[in-house]
Homo-oligomer: A and B are copies of this chain.
């Protein structure tokens, strides 16, 4: 028991440093003037070094070993906490600190090159940067594989999705791939006959701000434990007790701003409702990136872009942002729903709708796996990207690498294994919603009436308050009665986009 308590003490120290990292990181993105960057970088590097130092103390690893050998005395949550602590420890110890440092150094350089060279659509000059970084990431992946006993790509996937394997991802992505191209064509064809009215004027930011806060309150965001600010790239940062959302206001497009805020609020609700009594322990953290994304997509896609949401929201928005004289029926629920559910094939993942989005992700997943395993050379990236874009979305990116294989920051930032989370999140969100329909009766009618509290309570019980007590698969089984399942997602797409 004493050893277990030592483990908890170490985890608590790491959580404190994580807190400072989160707040300084938020500040960097939201508040910091540009002249503060150099010293902030140095301070954050020091913090990362201190974290690594704490992980590497022999007292910590000895306590882990000892606590595991005495784990019979622990209760279920403590056991699971110990399992998570071990995983975090293994993640940190798997990689040589020199490789960490070298990767940190190279990613800064690679990201910088990416920013400039993407703007210039200059793949040729960017390629060697990515190549050097990839070599390092391959080395990292090998170290992680040998430390975890997992296959190479699985070892990277585990960083974001503990418990999800390449086999599972392959299974659901292959199912999707079979259905998606035809589905996309049918949806686009069907939407051709829609008559959509655009607002044709701007909405002042001053009017949007209270509206955004109202909808955040509506789904249950607690402003005593969080804030909404502005940043160039919207994100959800901070710590569970103090969640920092950001958005970017556009006077010409309040609707996608609102959808963005709902998305980030989904992330925030998860963080704010993690188990309070495990705040500073590994088990008190969110399960992984796919589950996290499922919560943001639950609020944005399952609720926010539903026909029923617009039945509830349209009159409210008309009152706060619109005018009573609306001859072109812009503020009609059906018109706003049309605006929020438009599907089109496009080059850019971050702008994609929920029907075409999986194609962007599957493409990246297949490519990054091949890159990592050495089955694809960096040189061939543009050609393969173009091939897959043509196959999945009938778009060519030849000569357009800025909007092709250079569009995302993930690879220049050294993130391999992250992309699947986005689509796994969409699948999980649909799977959860379909269970809500079984458990609560008619959630769609609740949404149309604006009564989402029971749905949120369900999420709190089944997902948020679970923290990392379960693996992703375990959480899904407990919440929905089965492991990761593509069917509810496909049904969701068909219902929303091909019916009604």
Once the chains bind, are A39 and B27 in contact (CB under 8 Å)? no
A24 to B244, CA, bound (A): 14
Once the chains bind, are B39 and A19 in contact (CB under 8 Å)? yes
Once the chains bind, are B19 and A225 in contact (CB under 8 Å)? no
Chain B proximity of A209: nearest CB distance (Å) = 15
Q: Does A492 lie at the interface of the complex (its beta carbon under 8 Å from any beta carbon of B)? A: no
Once the chains bind, are B224 and A33 in contact (CB under 8 Å)? yes
Chain B proximity of A417: nearest CB distance (Å) = 29
Chain B proximity of A489: nearest CB distance (Å) = 35
Q: Does A65 lie at the interface of the complex (its beta carbon under 8 Å from any beta carbon of B)? A: no
Contact of A33 among B39, B43, B45, B227 (CB under 8 A): B227
Contact of A17 among B35, B38, B46, B226 (CB under 8 A): B46
Give the residues in chain B near A47, CB-CB below 8 Å: 16, 20
Q: Which residue of B lies closest to A39 (CB)?
A: B241
A 265-290 binary contact with B (CB < 8 Å = 1; else 0): 00000000000000110000000000
Give the residues in chain B near A20, CB-CB below 8 Å: 20, 24, 43, 47
Q: Does A36 lie at the interface of the complex (its beta carbon under 8 Å from any beta carbon of B)? A: yes
Q: Which residue of B lies closest to A50 (CB)?
A: B50
Contact of A40 among B13, B34, B242 (CB under 8 A): B242
Once the chains bind, are A279 and B39 in contact (CB under 8 Å)? yes
Once the chains bind, are B35 and A16 in contact (CB under 8 Å)? no
Give the residues in chain B near A32, CB-CB below 8 Å: 242
A226 to B32, CA, bound (A): 8
Give the residues in chain B near A46, CB-CB below 8 Å: 13, 16-17
Q: Which residue of B lies closest to A53 (CB)?
A: B50
Once the chains bind, are B39 and A224 in contact (CB under 8 Å)? no
Once the chains bind, are A42 and B280 in contact (CB under 8 Å)? yes
Once the chains bind, are B24 and A242 in contact (CB under 8 Å)? no
User: Chain A contact residues: over half helix, strand or loop, or mixed?
Assistant: helix
Assign chain A's interface to a size class. 35 or more
Give the residues in chain B near A34, CB-CB below 8 Å: 224
Once the chains bind, are B43 and A19 in contact (CB under 8 Å)? yes
Q: Does A77 lie at the interface of the complex (its beta carbon under 8 Å from any beta carbon of B)? A: no
Q: Which residue of B lies closest to A226 (CB)?
A: B33
A33 to B225, CA, bound (A): 6
A234 to B478, CA, bound (A): 51
Q: How many copies, total?
A: 2
Q: Does A239 lie at the interface of the complex (its beta carbon under 8 Å from any beta carbon of B)? A: yes
Once the chains bind, are A36 and B242 in contact (CB under 8 Å)? yes
Once the chains bind, are A225 and B35 in contact (CB under 8 Å)? yes
Q: Does A222 lie at the interface of the complex (its beta carbon under 8 Å from any beta carbon of B)? A: yes
Once the chains bind, are B239 and A39 in contact (CB under 8 Å)? yes
A residues 393-426 near B (Cβ < 8 Å) are none
A34 to B42, CA, bound (A): 29
Most chain B CB within 10 A, of A27, A39, A241, is at A39
- Given the interface pairs A36-B239, A42-B280, the reply to whether A227 lies near B31 with Cβ below 8 Å is yes
Q: Does A23 lie at the interface of the complex (its beta carbon under 8 Å from any beta carbon of B)? A: yes
Q: Does A100 lie at the interface of the complex (its beta carbon under 8 Å from any beta carbon of B)? A: no
Q: Which residue of B lies closest to A14 (CB)?
A: B46
- Given the interface pairs A16-B43, A23-B27, A43-B16, the reply to whether A36 lies near B225 with Cβ below 8 Å is yes
A residues 105-148 near B (Cβ < 8 Å) are none
Known: A23-B27, A50-B50; 10 extra A-B contacts, CB below 8 A, are: A12-B42, A17-B46, A19-B43, A20-B20, A20-B43, A20-B47, A23-B23, A24-B24, A27-B27, A35-B224
A-B contact pairs, 18 of them (CB 8 A): A16-B45, A16-B47, A19-B40, A19-B42, A19-B43, A23-B24, A23-B40, A33-B224, A33-B225, A33-B226, A35-B225, A35-B226, A36-B225, A36-B238, A36-B242, A39-B242, A39-B279, A50-B50
